[in-house]
Amino acid sequence: MTRPILFASLIALAAVASAQTPTPAPPARVSATAPLPADQAAMRAHVLFLASDELKGREAGSPEFDIAAQYVAAQFSAAGLRPGGAGGGYLQPVPLVSYRAADRGSLRWTPRGGRARALAFGADYVPAADPRSPATARDAPVAFVGQGVSAPSLGRDDYAGIDVRGRIVVLLGAAPKFGNGEIDASFTVGSRLEEAARRGAVGALVVADLGGGRGPGFAGLAKRWDRSAMTWARPDGTGGGAAARGVPLLATLSPAGAAKLFGPAWAAVEAAARSPRPRFAPIEGQGTLSAAFRTALTPGRSSNVVGVIPGSDPRLGREVVVLSAHLDHIGVSPPDPAQPNADRINNGALDNAIGIASLIEEAKRFAAQTEKGGKAPRRTVMFLAVTGEEKGLVGADYFASNPTVPIADVVADVNLDMPVLLYPFEDMTVFGAERSTLGPIVRRAVKSAGVDLTPDQNPEEAFFVRSDHYRFVEKGVPSVFLWPGQKGPRGAAFQTFLKTCYHRPCDEVTQPILWDQGVRFVDVNYRIAREIADADRRPVWNKGDYFGTLYRGPMAE
């Protein structure tokens, strides 16, 4: 599970150095000999290996991630999957690029008929980094476009009445609030930079600290202005994918910095931003902005791991059901001088070694059904372990943009990410089910585990847009992912995990993981995948669904 996709994440996603950690290898701290039924023992074994200190948190681009990828490839092979990667193997190489602001850059504002003046680094602006180019320069008039949202189906167009062709747009980083956490969260700054590109703008500045949001704020960004982010690399070494689809983000502005561009007109924006349902009128800037920034690009490489069970139906067999889970985690935390001996390895047992263990065990479930004389699934089933989820769904983005099968043949993605299996679950929560015909399939599968579906308990967290399946949603593919619910006396363990060990070194295999709950979790996901694979008709989005419409997926009549 990735951190919330906030406006700041474009420039502030951390790439923590993991190379030199002089930690002596400790013995495995869970007794691997305690007797468990075979299916539970198998899950535990995967997590013991993948979440061991020796794999140093499986950061995308690290050698330890590559070892984890070899492990998954070997397990796919043992489960009887055919290689689905490049060159007849299980791996799909994913070229990476880390990028960060190389210097403080410059922003100069020349009011019409006036003299140019420089905006101040750290007070007015913090430079951004552009993964597409080591040097970015723009010289253009500016336009304020509110939150930069154009959503006719939601009755909102921040671009109404203004032509931004050839301009640098200035927009508030805070996401709009339409009252639906998933829809609100889909308005990442990245998606709004894409809208700006469609409108013919040439660059963008994002204003921090106005209109709410949970970002680090301008002061936080100013402190870590040169931290790295990561995306996948195009053949020429520059960044591609979601991080490179919109107009270049040139800088983040403080409200004071924005006021320098718009003069007295800016006061109305600040006033509107304080209202609970803010509406912003566009403003044409009266002058020209000159922006120049440099970006340091550092190449890297990683891999997705792909295994398939070919479909048995002559017609439906070319269609593909994807089961995805991310293999990477966040690596090793930087040293804390206050606690020099503290554990810094983010083992990622629940996030997401356990999702990978579930993926492998689901593959074995399919194979076992066929061995017992059952038919192979009618559609092809693809098992996809992706890299770079924690960097912003990068490996899934690479796969969705460079698929090993035609993306139009991918009929669904069922994603496995961070099930918190620390308590006997009494319900399940599913993200995305109410949006497509996957809903009834999911409901039947959950019922088979003897539990009910509970609506999302944390809509404000917008989990639907925070894991790998979202990259498939962006390609129009109906997708779901499931979590154990929080009902019952011990369901609070979920929130406790989020507060205490999520993205921390204590996400270890030594947590009280209930492996029998892992098997239940695998069961439900297996049933979902199996039913999608064998159904007469491929899943479609419910008529008029927001995401199905937005991304032009197949839709119910």
Site residues (vs Zn ion, CB under 5 A): 1, 351
Q: At what angle do helices 515-534 and 354-371 cross, to 10 degrees?
A: 60
Which CB atom, from 366 or from 483, has the smaller least distance to Zn ion?
483
User: What is the 3-class SS of 5-57, one letter each residue?
Assistant: CCCCHHHHCCCCCCCCCCCCCCCCCCCCCCCCCHHHHHHHHHHHHHCCHHHCC
In the complex, the smallest distance separating the C-beta of residue 64 from Zn ion, rounded to whole angstroms, is 16
Q: Beta partners for 205?
A: 170, 251
CB of 467 to Zn ion, least distance (A): 9
Closer Cβ to Zn ion, 389 or 474, answer by number: 389
Token code pair at residue 312:
């048995």
Angle, in degrees to the nearest 10, between helices 38-50 and 354-371:
140
Among left, alpha and beta (phi > 0; psi -120 to 50; other), residue 371 is alpha
Minimum distance, C-beta of residue 2 to Zn ion, in the bound complex (Å): 6
Contact in structure between 393 and 191 (CB atoms under 8 Å): no
Least distance in Å: CB of 25 to Zn ion?
A: 24
Query: CB of 339: closest distance to Zn ion in angstroms?
Result: 22
Residue-level length of the chain? 557
**Alpha-carbon gap, residue 142 to 67, rounded angstroms:** 49
Q: Minimum Å distance from CB 319 to Zn ion?
A: 30
- Which residue's CB is nearer to Zn ion, number 238 or number 304? 304
Q: How far is the CB of 346 from Zn ion (least distance, A)?
A: 9
Burial class (CB in 10 A: 0-12, 13-18, 19+), 275: exposed
- Min dist CB 503 to Zn ion, Å, is 6
Q: How far apart are CA 316 and CA 536, in angstroms?
A: 8
Q: Which is nearer to Zn ion, 1 or 51 (CB)?
A: 1
What b/e sequence results for 335-356 when a residue is b if at least 16 CB atoms lie within 10 Å of its CB, and e otherwise?
Answer: eeeeeeeebbbbbbbbbbbbbb
Nearer to Zn ion, 362 or 389 (CB): 389
Angle of CA points 459, 155, 217, to nearest 5°: 50
Nearer to Zn ion by Cβ, of 170 and 349: the residue is 349
Whole-angstrom distance, CA of residue 427 vs CA of residue 495: 15
- Tokens representing residue 373 in the block: 């004389």
State the minimum distance, in angstroms, from the CB of residue 76 to Zn ion.
23
Compute φ and ψ for 552, nearest 5 degrees: 55, 45
Could you tell me the two tokens for 436? 């497509």
> Closest approach of Cβ 347 to Zn ion, in Å?
12
Least separation in angstroms between CB 327 and Zn ion: 12
Q: How far is the CB of 14 from Zn ion (least distance, A)?
A: 12
How far, CA to CA in Å, does 44 sit from each of 33, 74, 167, 521? Answer: 11, 17, 55, 14
Closer residue to Zn ion in complex, CB, 149/418 = 418
Nearer to Zn ion among residue 46 and residue 260 (C-beta) = 46
Q: Considering beta carbons, is residue 192 or 391 the nearer one to Zn ion?
A: 391
- The rounded distance, in Å, linking the Cα atoms of 41 and 47 is 10
Select 181 or 355, whichever has its Cβ closest to Zn ion: 355
| Closer by beta carbon to Zn ion, 64 or else 351 | 351
Q: Which residues, other chains included, contact 408 with Cβ-Cβ below 8 Å and sequence gap of 6+?
A: none
Other CB atoms within 10 Å distance of the CB of residue 250: 26
How far is residue 367 from each of residues 35, 309, 362, 393, 535, measured CA to CA in Å?
25, 9, 9, 29, 19
Judged by beta carbon, residue 293 or residue 497, the one nearer Zn ion is 497
